[in-house]
Structure 1
Amino acid sequence: MNNVEIYEGGDLGCHYTHLESIFKVWAPTAAKVTLALYDDAGTYDGGALTDHAGGFEIGMRRGEGGVWSLHFRGDLAGKYYMYKVEHPDGREVYAADPYARAVSANGQRTAIVDVKAASPEGWEEDETPGLLGVEDSVLYELHVRDFSISPDSGLQYKGKFKAFTETGVRDAAGSRLGIDHLAELGVTHVHLLPIFDYATVNELTVDDPDSAEPKFNWGYDPQHYNVPEGSYATDPSSPEVRIRECKEMIMALHRKGIRVVMDVVYNHTYSAGDGLFEKLVPGYFYRTDASGRFSNGSGVGNELATERPMVRKYIKDSLRYWAEEYHINGFRFDLMGLIDTDTIAQITEELRREHPGLLIYGEPWTGGETPLKQQTLKGSQRGKGFAVFNDNFRGAIKGDSDGAGKGFATGQPGKEAAVLAGVQGAIDDFTGSPTETINYVTVHDNLNLWDKVLITQGLEGDLIRGIDNGQLAGGGSLEEAVAATDPYRSIDQDLLLENESVRRALLANGIVLTSQGIPLIHAGDEMLRSKFGDHNSYRSGDAINAIRWGNKSRFLPVFEYYQGLIALRRAHRAFRMTDKEQIKRSMEVMRCDGNVVAYRLKDHANGDTWKNIIVIYNANVREAQVDIPFSITGWKVAVKNLQARNGALEMIVDETVSVPGLSVMVLYEEEGGRPRLLKTVELHYERQDRKYDGWNLWVWGSGMRERRVDFDRMEDGRAVATIYVPLNVQEIGYIVRLNEWEAKDCDQDRFIKLGWHHSKLKVLVRSGSDDWKKIS
């Protein structure tokens, strides 16, 4: 099927005006194509419509590139249409338009609407929130229905796009809920699970509490790629309402300063053999194996042949439509491994040219074996402008995804080097830049963070085990099982931040939020969200998936910790470097052993306002002692013991710091800060040969940590170094050395007596001499 005609025009689908509608469909192998027009959406049998006969049928004309077209004069707004395709073997089928922009309920017929007229008031003035670069992103992965469906959400439009438009909602304790919560948390992007029209929820019965029809799905079962999902609209039978309300949601998020990422699924469709692509051009849109059957790299029965020109064109056209018509700010690709790298690279280059701040990332793996040769896996993104999920980092932090296997934050020793590799933006692993890695611990797939931590700590008895496809393995009511389960049984409310499971969960995402790369957190992590042990909740319903907003006030210190870390990250560019060499130059590893990882971001890294920043991760249950560099001003603490702020919690003047168990600690040093009370030794070093390049001091003393001190100026032909010493130190030892011990000026150690009273001392040391001379 690679020898079919190709069409390069940008006008496929129905282009409506009040005066005429132009229909164009690519069907190069068809013998005949007819447009079938209908006055209404048809008569449904349950949620489906199987009879498309009886429409007003008009023959279409075949043109170049295998495109069939029809110009219809007159106003067709409110009508519906299908394409009737006759194939060379005489088979006739009705197919919806793959370029549909509006559909009837459950996507059964294509609707003719004025998409612009369906936009909400103020849409033309909608503006994308400002962001300097993709490295500034903080992502929040969220399902539309989960967001508002819980009875305690306080939101009127439960499960709907419009829930995002409700502001000023608070719980009884005064905590902000809904979209105000997202703004308060400080995330820059909401990553929405699929919001295009998908197949497995009956839109006509989704709001009927007495209906047994499915009401929930994650949405990874595409039906119409360019139409918003009807179950999230207040009236799924109105093609215009879903368009308007989807745009209202996006506009509301933009007004709160939050960009919108759309989860897209161009690797497979819900159905293949009887799907619209196969009806129009049999054998073209899907990959096949050696026996001619649909290949199954997606794990759901088919995979789109993205490497073929018209499939690639379709994906590009679809993405461009969402970016332009719906003001979408980024795309997350499901199973990106099934999309050839050339397609993703072209998408990134072309869309970024039109929308410079667009964020593009995806899953660099497949769901099974595929005949695709050019798979987009980790490493294939290097230098191409898009990012991929870092499952190496994910596993290093938490362990396996569905079992009791442990990682750094959940109790497995020996993971320090793997964690450090992720913290550095995977620049020595698979990236060319930290902007190519999406750092995360959990998302919608697999066990969510709280449940994973409980299982690693042997607390699986606090969860429901054996949920499969939304059903209990042993039968019975899932809702009743949830009501009888308490995933927070191990928490003493008065000792919330001392709870080991809480500390492990916050350590995990604390690492993510302070690492180089783009961080992503799963919705509800900031409230210790549980899915009651369900590791695959794609159709488990609201009992499992709903975000329980009562947990915000209940676990408010947890929310405040996330909020503080996000504010810290967004305020300091040192956490958002974009260049491999910059990281190599600015990040100094201080420790990477004993379940501790510590590093320094130095010398105003990436133009940061803070001169030096120290980050320490302690995965031990007990506190850890970590040596830190000497600071003339002392180190201010921004993050300690599950408290975080963009400012000082306390001051550290020692050269060793105690890091509480299972926690992140962040310290910083400011330029020009007020010096603390110290003794000062100004050492003047004189060489007869006047050659001072490479020479430095190694100093030590009781009450101070040994360290290197460089000569920082010349005075009267001598090199001068300033040594700062804590007030209680009465004697320091020193050696004058060349570089890193290439030579010593004098073999024996030298000592300078300070006594109790000297606050400042100036001494002269001559090359080759065992003694020093006080000169001031």
Structure 2
Amino acid sequence: MNSNYINTETIIETYEGKDLGLTYTAGCSQFKVWAPTAFTVSVVLYETGGTGADVSAVYSKDSGVIIPMQRQDGGVWQAQLTGDLKGKYYMYRTVFADGSIREAADPYATAVSANGVRSAIVDLRETDPPSWAEDRSPQLQHPADAVIYELHVRDFSAHESSGMLHKGKFKAFTETGLRDSAGNALGIDHLAELGITHVHLMPVFDFQTVNELNANGLDTEAGHYSEYNWGYDPQHYNVPEGSYSTNPAEPGTRIREFKEMVQALHSRGISVIMDVVYNHTYSVEKGPFEPLVPEYFYRHDYLGRLSNGSGVGNEIATERPMVRKYIKDSLLYWASEYHIDGFRFDLMGLMDSVTIREITEELRLAINPNLLIYGEPWTGGDSPLADKTLKGVQRGKGYAVFNDNFRAAIKGDSDGWGKGFTTGEYGKEGAVASGIKGAIHEFTDSPVETVNYVTAHDNLNLWDKVLASQGLRQAANLPELENGRLKGGGEVEKAVAKANPYFAIDPQDVLGNETVRRSLLANGIILTSQGIPFLHAGDEILRSKCGDHNSYRSPDAINAVRWDNKETFMPVFQYYKGLIELRRKHPAFRLHGRQEIERSLEFLRCEDGVVAYQLKDNAGGDVWNNIVVIFNANWGPVTQQLPETGGCWNIVVDHSRAGTEAFRIATDHAVELEGLSMMVLYDVYGEPAPRAKIIEVHYDRPDGDYRGWNLWVWGTGIQDGQCDFRQMEDGRAVARIEVVPGTESVGYILRLNDWEEKGSGDRFIDCSGSEALLKVVVQDRSSASSGDADNPLQLSS
């Protein structure tokens, strides 16, 4: 064990300030680093970035200027230098009691040299694109309104059919007006046309395994372009990845181009979610933490060895105060500096539940009440962490988890021949029905606690999984790959050119193909279920990765989105577009709470390869009185009885098309569905019913500390339980409670976290009036002002 090992049980020096790292102005620069066990710490100033062409001539002279730092309270070391240091680079040099010396980049660095060798000093305001201060996140009224689209930056533009100039770069998202030979929109215009609300970007912080100065370099041994990775190998958490910029050697370029990408997506009404990896680092000794505070940032087993719950050799000790602070500071930086709209947590099971809860509450209060927070509720191996964020822990906590139960029920296993409901397995109907209801009788308290999906970047993508379940891999001539290389040797590009994953599709009858129908049925279930739908990029144009189930280091020939598929499979794109439009226009598919679902959603059939349900009585305030949704996973047609209605049933989705306008009518009390298809019908189009009455609770605390406080509410008719304060207004924390119209009163208790403290008892808000919006103030009982938690005051309506 390292002689500088820290007994974390006895460390008491922590720091709460918000100024760790570099604070730059043209007149001076302040450096602060937390290194409580170091004997001395210095800042080392450099003229170059320490790698590449910039040091070829002057590196021998670039030994650095050493500036001693002064120790402050809380284990923090500080140095302040006058003058304008913009354009220089720096490192921290630590000396420990045993005489060991280490040099490391700043873990709080916001800019770095190529490949992250050294921290860089930049003026962040000079990295702002024009009108950046006016950039605003698209409005998200409720998490249920989101439609998420997972995307890898390089995959988006790498293929020649993309027509994009900046292939593999952030700037590709700024290229508009691109069309294929048939006039179909490509790139960012395609995303806007599809109708998704959020782009979920796979890791875009600085990661370690791509040489940024050779990002398009040819690996002659492998015979393909090998500088590719998904990015789950963190190096600098607060800096954009350099290989996605047009000039990684210039520290400000990647920052500016990242902001341009966010700005471009926001301008098209699309929010941006970052995939973040705070559960492990690629390297320990050469990582961002170990050289400064040995042993503190990583978990260890009972023998003192690094624990490996991530499956890659280490895991971050998120439960420790300064690790938790680092993660929260990092997320706050991305949300404020880069206008990020949400975060997806990799292996969230390795993050303690207190950290995730605090992240969710504090970020929304400080930055954006509509931030989406979700993650993987599992680990990659055994971990000594007791308080894991696993499925079910998220109940009532304001964030969501991926629903792998639903995923498996729909498609079967992830990489093999195993089947699910849409791929030919009977007996999955009940599990599918549970997912349709937002898993509210499984592991959620609310439908917006589940992210519903069938495929993501991991494992076989949807098209390839359906092919595998049909036993068609060999017929499609799909190559066998492992770690980006052919198992039998040879060039990947040549093997891909010989593959034909679409061999069975008749171009004149695309929607008649069995594999197409099974794919559409799978994501058709996702897009019409309660919860937050999640699509993997390219599903809407039948993207294939040639059967590669783990393409994290495979070449562009495998990973790149082939935009020429859009013209070829336009009926599929139009079907997805229609389903997304249906979901976004009709709130019945986006119910907000458990009680609302239990009142509005009723199953009609759940057996023999058929799942059918009704959304009734203007569910969610929908203009359609009753909606019936039917899924037929049988090869042949089935007949489904329809509920009694005063008129006919209007069909808006069947095997041939999807949308919001009726294109045929079912006049009888039964309807026939073709095999491997879905159908959506409604009976009466009328005036929208009031969805809910809103009660805004403005909580006033004299100490201004709202961390951990929430409301426990009941009698809403929509979603009882924990209700978070999600924004600040006039110095008060504000929560919004939705109640069913006609509700006379709603009960609440003010509490800290999970009943660590609570108010003086059950209290009630009178909402019997006609107001659609009722605002009340609840003041802490210790306040001398009028009104208290016992007697909420009405502000306005």
Q: Name which of 254, 261, 268 aligns with 2:266.
A: 254
Q: Name which of 471, 474, 477 aligns with 1:458.
A: 471
State whether residues 604 and 612 of structure 2, in contact with CA within 8 Å, keep that contact through their aligned partners in structure 1: yes
Q: Residues 196-239 of structure 1: CA distance to partner in whole angstroms, max 9, x if unpaired?
A: 00000000011345777842100000000000000000000010
Q: Name which of 266, 275, 287 aligns with 1:263.
A: 275
CA distance in 2, matches of 1:52, 1:616: 73
Question: Residue type matched to 2:498 in 1?
Answer: A
Q: Name which of 148, 152, 159 aligns with 1:143.
A: 152
SS at match of 2:37: coil
Q: Residues 281-312 of structure 1: CA distance to partner in whole angstroms, max 9, x if unpaired?
A: 00100001122111110011000000000000
1:11 aligns with 2:19: yes
Partner of 1:37: 45
1:444 aligns with 2:435: no
Q: Name which of 272, 280, 287 aligns with 2:299.
A: 287
Larger displacement relative to structure 2 (201-210 or 534-543): 201-210
State the shift of 1:50 in Å.
11
Partner of 1:649: 663
Partner of 2:137: 128
State whether residues 625 and 682 of structure 2, in contact with CA within 8 Å, keep that contact through their aligned partners in structure 1: yes
CA distance in 2, matches of 1:47, 1:360: 42
Q: How does 1:566-645 map to 2 (within 5 A)?
A: 566-645=580-659
SS at match of 1:610: coil
- Rg: which structure is higher? 1
Q: Name which of 383, 390, 394 aligns with 1:370.
A: 383
Q: How does 1:97-116 map to 2 (within 5 A)?
A: 97-116=106-125
State the shift of 1:393 in Å.
0.0
Partner of 2:568: 554
1:93 aligns with 2:102: yes
CA distance in 2, matches of 1:616, 1:214: 45
CA distance in 2, matches of 1:494, 1:47: 59
1:301 aligns with 2:313: yes
Q: Residues 689-746 of structure 1: CA distance to partner in whole angstroms, max 9, x if unpaired?
A: xxxxxxxxxxxxxxxxxxxxxxxxxxxxxxxxxxxxxxxxxxxxxxxxxxxxxxxxxx
Question: Residue type matched to 1:447 in 2?
Answer: L
User: Cα distance 1:309–1:53, how it changes in 2: closer, same or farther (>3 A)?
Assistant: farther
User: Cα distance 1:52–1:414, how it changes in 2: closer, same or farther (>3 A)?
Assistant: farther
Question: Residue type matched to 1:323 in 2?
Answer: A
State the shift of 1:664 in Å.
1.2
User: Cα distance 1:51–1:91, how it changes in 2: closer, same or farther (>3 A)?
Assistant: farther
CA distance in 2, matches of 1:46, 1:475: 38
Question: Residue type matched to 2:487 in 1?
Answer: A
State the shift of 1:274 in Å.
2.8
Partner of 1:478: 492
User: Cα distance 1:475–1:671, how it changes in 2: closer, same or farther (>3 A)?
Assistant: closer
CA distance in 1, matches of 2:109, 2:613: 52
Partner of 2:735: none
Larger displacement relative to structure 2 (116-125 or 436-445): 116-125
Question: Residue type matched to 1:586 in 2?
Answer: S
Q: How does 1:183-262 map to 2 (within 5 A)?
A: 183-209=192-218, 214-262=226-274
Q: Percent identity?
A: 61
SS at match of 1:263: strand
CA distance in 2, matches of 1:52, 1:442: 52
State whether residues 195 and 228 of structure 1, in contact with CA within 8 Å, keep that contact through their aligned partners in structure 2: yes
State whether residues 34 and 83 of structure 1, in contact with CA within 8 Å, keep that contact through their aligned partners in structure 2: yes
User: Cα distance 1:392–1:99, how it changes in 2: closer, same or farther (>3 A)?
Assistant: same
Q: Residues 333-358 of structure 1: CA distance to partner in whole angstroms, max 9, x if unpaired?
A: 00000000110000001011121000
Q: Residues 656-689 of structure 1: CA distance to partner in whole angstroms, max 9, x if unpaired?
A: 110111111000122459xxxxxxxxxxxxxxxx
Partner of 1:680: none
SS at match of 1:643: coil
1:81 aligns with 2:90: yes
Partner of 1:383: 396
Q: How does 1:162-177 map to 2 (within 5 A)?
A: 162-177=171-186
CA distance in 2, matches of 1:582, 1:51: 70
Partner of 1:406: 419
CA distance in 1, matches of 2:55, 2:482: 25
State the shift of 1:121 in Å.
0.9
SS at match of 2:310: coil
Q: Residues 611-651 of structure 1: CA distance to partner in whole angstroms, max 9, x if unpaired?
A: 11000000001111000012222110110114111110111
Partner of 1:415: 428
User: Cα distance 1:391–1:297, how it changes in 2: closer, same or farther (>3 A)?
Assistant: same
Partner of 1:767: none
Q: Name which of 526, 534, 537 aligns with 1:512.
A: 526
State whether residues 463 and 533 of structure 1, in contact with CA within 8 Å, keep that contact through their aligned partners in structure 2: no
Question: Residue type matched to 1:653 in 2?
Answer: T
State the shift of 1:475 in Å.
1.0
CA distance in 1, matches of 2:330, 2:220: 34
Question: Residue type matched to 2:654 in 1?
Answer: K
Partner of 1:429: 442
State the shift of 1:117 in Å.
1.3
SS at match of 1:349: helix
SS at match of 1:670: coil
1:329 aligns with 2:337: no
Larger displacement relative to structure 2 (68-77 or 464-473): 464-473
CA distance in 1, matches of 2:131, 2:217: 32
Question: Residue type matched to 1:169 in 2?
Answer: L
Question: Residue type matched to 1:445 in 2?
Answer: D
Partner of 1:28: 36
Larger displacement relative to structure 2 (89-98 or 211-220): 211-220
State whether residues 47 and 203 of structure 1, in contact with CA within 8 Å, keep that contact through their aligned partners in structure 2: no
User: Cα distance 1:211–1:20, how it changes in 2: closer, same or farther (>3 A)?
Assistant: farther
Partner of 2:767: none
State whether residues 82 and 110 of structure 1, in contact with CA within 8 Å, keep that contact through their aligned partners in structure 2: yes
Q: How does 1:51-90 map to 2 (within 5 A)?
A: 54-90=63-99
CA distance in 2, matches of 1:39, 1:50: 9
Partner of 2:370: 357
User: Cα distance 1:526–1:58, how it changes in 2: closer, same or farther (>3 A)?
Assistant: same
CA distance in 2, matches of 1:31, 1:88: 6
TM-score for the superposition, normalised by structure 2:
0.83
Partner of 2:551: 537
State whether residues 138 and 270 of structure 2, in contact with CA within 8 Å, keep that contact through their aligned partners in structure 1: yes
Unaligned 5+ runs, structure 1: 674-776
Q: Name which of 470, 481, 490 aligns with 2:504.
A: 490
SS at match of 1:373: coil
State the shift of 1:52 in Å.
11
User: Cα distance 1:569–1:236, how it changes in 2: closer, same or farther (>3 A)?
Assistant: same
Larger displacement relative to structure 2 (415-424 or 637-646): 637-646
State whether residues 479 and 499 of structure 2, in contact with CA within 8 Å, keep that contact through their aligned partners in structure 1: no
State the shift of 1:458 in Å.
1.1
State the shift of 1:276 in Å.
2.7
Q: Name which of 671, 678, 682 aligns with 1:664.
A: 678
1:525 aligns with 2:539: yes
CA distance in 2, matches of 1:191, 1:671: 35
Unaligned 5+ runs, structure 2: 1-6, 688-797
Question: Residue type matched to 2:137 in 1?
Answer: T
CA distance in 2, matches of 1:672, 1:62: 70
CA distance in 2, matches of 1:141, 1:147: 10
User: Cα distance 1:624–1:315, how it changes in 2: closer, same or farther (>3 A)?
Assistant: same
